[in-house]
Amino acid sequence: MARELRTGMLPPRVRRASINWGDRAFHGITTGFALLIAALVALLVLELATESVPALSRFGPGFLASTSWNPVTGEFGALPFIYGTLATSALALALAWPIGVGAAAFLTELAPRFVRSILGTMVEMLAAVPSVVYGLWGVFVLVPLLRERVEPWLIERLGVLPVFSGPPFGLGVFAAGLLLAVMILPTLASVSREAMSAVPRGQREALLALGATRWEVIRAVVLAQARSGLVAATVLALGRALGETMATVMVIGNSPSINVSIFAPASTMASVIANDFNEATGLQKAVLLELGLILLVVSLAVNTAARLMAARSTR
Amino acid sequence: MISTYRRRKLANMLMLSLLGAAALVAVVPLIAVAAYVVLEGAGAINLDFFTQLPSPAGEAGGGMGNAVVGTLELVAIASALATPTGVMAGIYLAQQGRGTRLGPLVRLLSDVLNGVPTIVVGLFVYGLLVLTTGSFSALAGGVALGVIMLPVIARTTEEAVLQVPSSVREAALALGLPEWRATLRVVLPTARSGILTGVILGVARISGETAPLLFTAFGNSFWSLDPTKPIASLPVQIYNFATGPYESWHRQAWGAALVLMTMVLALNLAARWLSRSR
C-alpha cells in the first residue's frame, strides 16, 4: 500500500521502466543530496573520532571516571564535566517540565482562541532568542539577582541541606540550570502540545458527558493518552539541554570541580570546549575533541530515541 | 456525597488555575529578556554602531559595523550552500524516497542532525576546514552554519512539496512533461512559499548561533570580506564583549543583542505570517 501513486510521482513499476534520461539523472541527483545528509552524520562521528585518537589511546575508558584536570602535567578526566552537564540538565528539566507541560495543557484544553495564539506565539518565540542573548541577560541580570537576593535567601532558610549550602556565588550550576530551563521550555511546550492535540476529541466528550470535571478529563484522558508524546518532549528537551553551550559557558563559572551545592561554579562538556578549545594545544585539544565526541554520541542516541517515540505517539 | 462533589470542584479549580499560572510563567522570561535587551540596548544604537569599527579596549564610542557585515556574509555563505542542497534532499524525501528504505532513514538522520549540539558542529568543521587550510576563515564559519541550516530546509521543503495537490502534478505529467521537468517547473513553484518559509526559518536559526563560529570564523577586529580570512560576527562579538571587563564593551554587547534579537524575531514572525497566508 505504501507503494502506490502518492509514494512518488509515478508508480514504482512505471518509474523503473522509465527510460527518460532526464528523470534518471534527476533521481540520481536528489538521491545524492539525500545521501549527503546521511554522510554528514557519519562524517561528524568519524572526524571527531579520528581527531580524538591521542586522548582515546592515552586515557582509555578510565577518562570517563577520572576527576583530574591538569593541563600542565597532562592529566585529564571527564567526570567533572559529565557531572556538570547532568546536574544543569536535570535541574533545568525539573524546573521547566511542570511549567512547559502545564502551559501546553492550558493552551490546548482551556485557552480561548486568541489567548492561545498570543501565548502560543510568545512561548515559541522563546526558542528564537539566540542563546548568547540569554547568556548576556544571565550575566548582567540573572546572576546579580541570584547573588544578592535569591541565593542568600535560600541559604538562610534551606542552608542545612547540602545542596543549598555554601557562599552565594551567583555564577554556578543554579544560574545555568535556570537559563537552560528557559531555553528548553519551548521544546517541551510545543512537542507536548502536538501530542495533546492528537488525542481524539470524542474521548474528552465521553468523559465530560459522564460528569467529569475539566481537570479530571485532562488527567484521565489528555495526559494519559499523550504520555508517550510527553516522554518524547522530555527526551528532546533533555537533548537540547545537554548540548547547549553559550548561555551555560557565560553563567556557570567555568570550574572543573564537583560540588554538592548547586550554588557552586562548575563546567559542562559543552562549556569547557567553548571556553578552552582555542587556547588548548596538543593533548588538551584531543581531550576536548573527545568530550565533543561523547557529547555527539549521546545527542545522537537521545535524539534518535526521541524521534522514534514522537513518530509512534502521533501516528 | 456533597463533600465528594465539593472536593472534586475544588480540585478542578485549583488544578485549572495552576495550568493557567504555568502558561503565564512560561512567557515571563521572554518579556524579561526582551525588556532588558530593549532598555539596555537602545542607548548603544546609533549610526556609528553600524558604520564604525569597535573602539580600542576600554574607550567609549565605536561600533560593530564589521560584525554586522560579517554576520550577513556568514549567513549568505551558509544559505548559498544549504538552500540548494536542502531543497534537493527535501524533494527526495517527498518524492523518490517514499516507499523506499533509504527515505525514512534520511528523514531520521536529518532530524538527528538538527539536534546535534552546535558546538560539536563547530569542532567538526574546525577539523575539516580550519586544520586542513591552516586558518580560521569566513568560509569555515559559513560551512558550519550551513550544516546547521541544512536539516531545517530539507524537512520544510519535504512538507511543502507534499502539500502540493496531486492533481497539479498529474496535470503536468498528463501534458507529457517528464517527471523532472514537472517537478522543477510545476511542483517547486507551487511549493515556493513553503520552501521560502523554510529558508527564512533556517536563516533565523543560524544568525544567532555563536558556538559553531568560535573555532571556525573566529573573529576579527577589522573590516574583512575575504572568505579565506577570519571574520567578525554579532553573536561572537556579544560573547567577547559581555565576558570582557569594560563598561563600554558591555553597552555595545547589549546594542548588538538588540540588533540580533530584532532580526531573529522579525524573521520568525515573517515565516509565521508567510506560512499562515498560504
Residue A176: which CATH number? Answer: 1.10.3720.10
Which residues fall within 8 angstroms of residue B59, CB to CB, at 6 or more apart?
B248
CB atoms within 10 A of CB B206: 28
Q: Cβ separation of A33 and B89 shorter than 8 Å?
A: yes
pLDDT digits (tens, 9 = 90+) for A200-227: 999 999 999 999 999 999 999 999 999 9
Q: Cβ separation of A44 and B207 shorter than 8 Å?
A: no
Q: Which one is predicted more confidently, A14 or B51?
A: B51
pLDDT digits (tens, 9 = 90+) for A192-202: 999 999 999 99
- Is B1 part of any domain? no
Best of A18, A20, A33 to mutate (most B CBs within 10 Å, chain B)? A33
Q: Cβ separation of A243 and B29 shorter than 8 Å?
A: no
Least CB–CB distance from A295: residue in B98, B120, B264: B120
User: Total domain count for chain A?
Assistant: 1
- Is A130 part of any domain? yes
Amino acid at A301: A
Interface A–B counts its CB contacts (< 8 A) at 293
Contact B237, B257 (CB under 8 A): no
In sequence order, what E strands does B1-111 have? Answer: none
**B3 min Cα distance to partner chain A (Å):** 15
**B225 min Cα distance to partner chain A (Å):** 23
Specify the pLDDT at position A309.
84
In sequence order, what E strands does B3-92 have? Answer: none
CB atoms within 10 A of CB B167: 9
pLDDT digits (tens, 9 = 90+) for A271-308: 999 999 999 988 999 999 999 999 999 999 999 998 88
Q: Which phi and psi angles does B233 have, rounded to 5°?
A: -150, 155
- The rounded distance, in Å, linking the Cα atoms of B251 and B39 is 11
User: Residue A133: which of B118, B246, B239 has the closest Cα?
Assistant: B239
User: Total domain count for chain B?
Assistant: 1
- Is B51 part of any domain? no
DSSP state, residue B53:
P
- Is B234 part of any domain? yes
Closest-CA residue of chain B to A25: B180
Best of B40, B158, B179, B246 to mutate (most A CBs within 10 Å, chain A)? B179
In sequence order, what E strands does A153-308 have? Answer: none
Q: Cβ separation of B207 and A139 shorter than 8 Å?
A: no
CATH number of the domain residue B270 falls in: 1.10.3720.10
**Greatest CA separation found in chain A?**
80
- The rounded distance, in Å, linking the Cα atoms of B138 and B81 is 13
DSSP β-bridge partners for residue B170: none
- Is A9 part of any domain? no
Least CB–CB distance from A7: residue in B8, B99, B183: B99
Would you place residue A313 in the very low, low, confident or very high pLDDT band (cuts 50, 70, 90)? Answer: low
- Is A44 part of any domain? no
Closest-CA residue of chain A to B32: A137
pLDDT digits (tens, 9 = 90+) for A71-98: 888 889 999 999 999 999 999 999 999 9
Specify the pLDDT at position A6.
45
Contact A246, B242 (CB under 8 A): no
Mean pLDDT estimate for chain A = 90
Specify the pLDDT at position A315.
54
Written as nine digits, the cell of B140 is 569555515
ipTM for this prediction: 0.93
Specify the pLDDT at position B98.
85
- Is B225 part of any domain? yes
Least CB–CB distance from B214: residue in A136, A185, A278: A278
Q: In which domain, by residue range, is B226 found?
A: 70-276
Q: Cβ separation of A130 and B264 shorter than 8 Å?
A: yes
Closest-CA residue of chain A to B31: A122
Q: Cβ separation of B26 and A270 shorter than 8 Å?
A: no
- The rounded distance, in Å, linking the Cα atoms of A227 and A313 is 8
Q: In which domain, by residue range, is A250 found?
A: 56-314
- Measured CA to CA in angstroms, residue B222 lies from A278, B233, B246 at distances of 20, 11, 19
- Is B253 part of any domain? yes
Q: Cβ separation of A33 and B25 shorter than 8 Å?
A: no
